[in-house]
Amino acid sequence: MISENLVQVKRCIIEAAKRAGRDPSGVRLLAVTKEQSDATVAKGIQAGMTLLGENKVQEASGKIEAFGRKNGLEWHFIGRLQKNKVKFIFDLFDLIHSVDSLALAEAIHKKAQKIGSCMPILLQVNISGEKSKLGIDPLDLPREIRKFAKLEGVKISGLMTIPPFDRNPETSRPYYARLRELRDTCSSLNIPRIYLDELSMGMSNDYEVAIEEGATLVRVGTGLFGPRPSLGKRTVG
Ligand SMILES: *Cc1c(COP(=O)(O)O)cnc(C)c1O
């Protein structure tokens, strides 16, 4: 089941990239393993998933201990990161998708400096302006991003967003287009130490639309593993 889902999702990624005239190798699939059992994650890895995404530090820590890191597997953090958990992320994650404030970036920077490290991060942008969603206001970003650039303990590798959930994937398209435009605007400022190569956008229901709009990282959970054990109460964002 999981291996068939993986084949299918990979095929859809390639087709979406081609529709947009993009090289499919410019899109990476992040398999979102949150809430899935170790047995399920093992099947995913067996099937060939190499990029894994978690949204809770503690849960991720257990899985990373079980499956390892730097052995061909990369773990990304996609959830709400509390400042008191920042000290753990360096041993666990290769990329943090969800840095939603300057204060959080500063906390990561400070810890990184202390241990002589640098953490690649994406800035989460609240394109939809929903109160329930975290993220930087897109209107503030072109000005704010200079402050992020000064933090040597983080590498600003791109932007991430979560649109309002809707069954119809086309509803997501304008949000993803706006994130890409915002990226282009910020890139054109030519600020040192701001890279913005990555656009993390698209989930199970809308990753093809996201790819058509320029996603380089799609975060797919249920589309690969089936429903999460707790699904019903939504834990996205
Ligand atoms: C859970 C989650 C996903 C995956 O959602 P699916 O709809 O299961 O693909 C993607 N991104 C974030 C931030 C999430 O929390």
Extents of the domains making up the chain = 2-225
Q: Whose CA is nearest to atom 7 of ligand 1?
A: 204
pLDDT given for residue 165 in this prediction: 92
Helix (H, G, I), strand (E, B) or coil at 13: helix
pLDDT given for residue 231 in this prediction: 59
What are the φ/ψ torsions at residue 156 (nearest 5 degrees)? -80, 100
Lowest mean pLDDT among 68-72, 125-129, 145-149: 68-72
pLDDT in tens, 216-232: 999 999 999 999 988 55
pLDDT given for residue 230 in this prediction: 80
Structure tokens at 18: 């081609």
Kindly tell me if the per-residue pLDDT of 235 is higher than 90: no
State the Cα–Cα distance between residues 157 and 35, nearest whole angstrom.
27
From first CA to last CA, the distance across the chain in angstroms is 27
Which class does domain 2-225 fall in? alpha beta
- Over residues 18-35, the mean pLDDT reads 98
- How many residues does this entry show for the chain? 237
Kindly tell me if the per-residue pLDDT of 236 is higher than 60: no
Could you tell me which of 211, 212, 217, 210 has the C-alpha nearest to residue 196? 217
Sign (positive or negative) of CA dihedral 163, 213, 208, 32: negative
Kindly tell me if the per-residue pLDDT of 233 is higher than 70: no
Q: Which ligand 1 atom lies nearest to the CA of residue 55?
A: 15
Q: 116 C-alpha vs ligand 1 centroid, how far in Å?
A: 32
> Letter for the amino acid at 63?
K
- Over residues 66-77, the mean pLDDT reads 94
pLDDT in tens, 165-180: 999 999 999 999 999 9
Q: 234 C-alpha vs ligand 1 centroid, how far in Å?
A: 9
Kindly tell me if the per-residue pLDDT of 81 is higher than 60: yes
- Pocket test of ligand 1: the residue of 133, 219, 234 to mutate, having most ligand atoms within 8 Å of its CB, is 219
State the Cα–Cα distance between residues 27 and 20, nearest whole angstrom.
12
Q: What angle do CA 89, 108, 183 make, to 5 degrees?
A: 100
70 — pLDDT class (breaks 50, 70, 90): confident
Q: What angle do CA 129, 134, 136 make, to 5 degrees?
A: 70
pLDDT given for residue 130 in this prediction: 92
What are the φ/ψ torsions at residue 155 (nearest 5 degrees)? -115, 115
pLDDT in tens, 96-109: 999 999 999 999 99
198 — pLDDT class (breaks 50, 70, 90): very high
Strands 51-54 and 95-99: unpaired
State the Cα–Cα distance between residues 228 and 27, nearest whole angstrom.
24
Kindly tell me if the per-residue pLDDT of 5 is higher than 80: yes
Contact between residue 195 and residue 155 where contact means Cβ atoms under 8 Å apart: yes
pTM: 0.96
pLDDT given for residue 21 in this prediction: 98
